Amino acid sequence: MDSLEKLRLLAPEADLEPAEEVLPNGRRTGPAASPALPGCLHQAHTPHGPIVLLKGLLSNACERNCLYCPFRAGRDFRRASFAPDELAAVFHRLYQAGLAQGLFLSSGLVGGGVRTQDQIIATAEILRRKYRFTGYLHLKIMPGAEPEQIRQTMLLADRVSINLEAPTPERLALLAPRKDFLEELFRPLRQVEEVRREVGGRPGPWKSLHRSGPSLSTQFVVGPAGESDEELLRTTAYLFRHLHLARAYFSAFRPIPDTPLEARPAENPRRERRLYQASYLLRDYGFSVEELPLDKNGRLPLEEDPKLAWARRHLLESPVEVNTASRQELLRVPGIGPRLADRLLAARRLGRLRDLQDLGKLGIPVARAAPFILLDGRRPACQPPLL
C-alpha cells in the first residue's frame, strides 16, 4: 500500500474524533474540496484562523478493546500504519501543494502508550525541524504517556488533547474496560497544566501562538455509558475552571458493526448540540452547572437552546435593562454573546439606546433578544416568544 492509499484509508477514520471542524454551535464545517482525498481534509477554525486541516492517524491498529471503537483489538477490518517520516512527508507534500495548512494527528494504541506517543512526537519533530513547518499542529496525548513525553509534545504543538471519553471512572468502565480514568487520562490532563506553569513564564519556549502554551481539549463519547448531561457538564466545568481547558468536544454515539455495542441505538445528535451550547455557557457566559435548565434526570431540553430555556424561566418577568446592565447580565440575554456585549457597552458610552433599531445597528438579533430586555425602561414592541 503506497502512502496516498494509506492516507485515503486512515484519514477518514480520524473523523470519529471531532476537532477544529466543529463550530462553537456544535455544527460541523464542510469538507475541503479534495476529489483525490475524499474525507481527508476539513475546513477548520484554529488560532491561526480558518485553515484546511488534515485529520490523520499514524495507525488504526489498536491493542485496547474499547466497546464502541472501530479500531478495537480483534475486530476484523483493514488496518494500516504510517512510519513517522512517511506521514510527515505526505503532509509536507500536501502543504507544499496548498491543499492543507494544518495537521490533527492521532493514532490507535500500538505497543503501549509510551511507544505510540514517541511515534507522534517523532512525526511532529520531523515536520518542525526537517521541513521547517510553522503552521498548526494538534497532537493527541496517548493513554499512559509519560510526563516528559507530555512536555515534548506540548513544545511542538499548537493544541494537545487527551480524550476522557466519559465523565467519571465508573462511566468509563462501561466504555473502555482496559483504560484507567485517573491514571491514564486525568493525570495527563493535570500534567499539561503543570507544564504550562513550569515553562510558560520563559521567553519564547512554545511553537504555539499561545504565549501560555498550547491549548488543551478533550472529548466525551455521549450516550452508551448512560451518563447524564449533568455528569458531562460538571466534569467539563471542572476542567474549564481548574485546568484551563480550551474546549470540550462531544461525540454522539453511533453504533459500529462488529463491536460489543453494535446493537445499541445511536444517540440523538441534537443532544450533542445542546451539550456544546451548554459548555459555552459554562466557559464564556458565566453560568454555573446549577443554573443550567436540567430536568430531574440531569438532562438538557432537546427542543431548545439551553440559554433560551434559561431566559424564558428567568427574564420574561424580570427583563434586562440594556442601558444599565453589567456585561455579565447582558450575556444572559439570548442573541447577545461576548463580542456583541462588548459592542453594546461601547455604544452605551456614546448615548442611550432607545429602540430596537439601535440594537440592530450593533448586529444584535433583535427578534431573539427583544422579549427579554428593556430599552430606556420600556419593553420593546415584539412578538411574544412561543412557550
Segment 46-89, tens digit of pLDDT: 877 899 999 999 999 999 999 999 999 999 999 999 999 999 99
- DSSP SS3 for 26: coil
Question: Are residues 16 and 70 in contact, defined by beta-carbon separation less than 8 angstroms?
Answer: yes
Alpha helix (H) ranges present in 182-305? Answer: 187-199, 229-243, 269-284
Predicted confidence at residue 212, as pLDDT, reads 64
- How far is C-alpha 97 from the geometric centre of its chain's CA atoms? 28
pLDDT of the residue at 209? 46
Residues 100 and 197 in one domain: yes
Exposed/middle/buried for 218, CB within 10 Å: 0-12, 13-18, 19+? buried
Residue 297 belongs to a domain: no
Residue 109 near residue 116, CB atoms below 8 Å:
yes
Read off the C-alpha cell for 347.
455604544
Rounded CA gap, 231 and 234, in Å? 5
User: Considering Cα of 203, then 209, then 212, then 216, what sign does the dihedral take?
Assistant: negative
User: Does residue 198 lie within any of the structural domains?
Assistant: yes
* DSSP symbol at 216: E
Query: Given a cut of 70, is residue 316 above it in pLDDT?
Result: yes
HSE-CB at 221 with a 13 A cutoff on CA atoms is: 24
Q: Which of residues 271 and 17 earns the better pLDDT score? A: 271
In this structure, what is the dihedral angle of CA atoms 50, 123, 248, 297, given to the nearest 10 degrees? 140
Percentage of the chain surpassing pLDDT 70?
Answer: 95
**Domain membership flag for residue 210:** yes
Regarding whether 329 and 255 lie in a shared domain, the answer is no
- pLDDT at position 24, please? 77
The tens digit of pLDDT for each residue in 108-165 reads: 999 999 999 999 999 999 999 999 999 999 999 999 999 999 999 999 999 999 999 9
Say if residue 142 is in the same domain as residue 214.
Answer: yes
Q: Which of 14-28, 203-217, 312-326 has the lowest mean pLDDT?
A: 203-217
Using CA atoms, how far residue 148 sits from 114, 121, 222, in Å, is 10, 11, 31
Q: Rounded to a whole number, what is the largest CA-CA distance in the chain? A: 71
The whole-angstrom separation of Cα 256 and Cα 109 is: 19
> Contact at 8 Å (CB) between 139 and 105?
yes
- pLDDT of residue 386 exceeding 90, the answer is no
Residues 59 and 165 in one domain: yes
pLDDT band at 387 (very low <50, low <70, confident <90, very high): very low
Are 12 and 146 contained in the same domain?
Answer: yes
- Closest by CA position to 129, among listed 171, 96, 92: 92
Task: Over range 232-244, report the average pLDDT.
Answer: 97
Q: Where among 243, 265, 287 does a domain terminate?
A: 265
Residue 18 domain-assigned (yes or no): yes
18: left (phi over 0), alpha (psi -120 to 50) or beta: beta
Per-residue pLDDT for 210 more than 80?
no
Let me know if residue 46 belongs to a domain: yes
- Which cell numbers hold the place of 176? 473502555
What is the pLDDT at residue 99? 93
Q: Which of 107, 106, 102, 98 is nearest to 33 (CA)?
A: 98
| pLDDT at residue 200 in the model | 63
Lowest-confidence segment of 45-59, 104-118, 246-260, 265-279 by average pLDDT: 45-59
Q: Does 302 map to a domain?
A: no
The terminus-to-terminus CA distance of the chain in angstroms comes to 58
> Are 251 and 220 contacting, i.e. CB atoms less than 8 angstroms apart?
yes
- The C-alpha cell 440523538 sits at 268
Residues in the chain: 387
What is the CA 10 to chain-centroid distance, rounded?
21
Report the 10 Å Cβ neighbour count for 260.
14
Please determine, for residue 35, whether its predicted confidence score (pLDDT) is greater than 90: no
**Closest C-alpha to 373, from 309, 327, 328, 317:** 317
Tell me the C-alpha distance between 230 and 238, whole Å.
Answer: 12
Helix axes 147-156, 187-199, angle to 10 degrees: 60
Number of domains into which the chain is organized: 2
| Residue 368 structural domain | 315-374
CATH for 63:
3.20.20.70
Residue 251 lies in a domain: yes
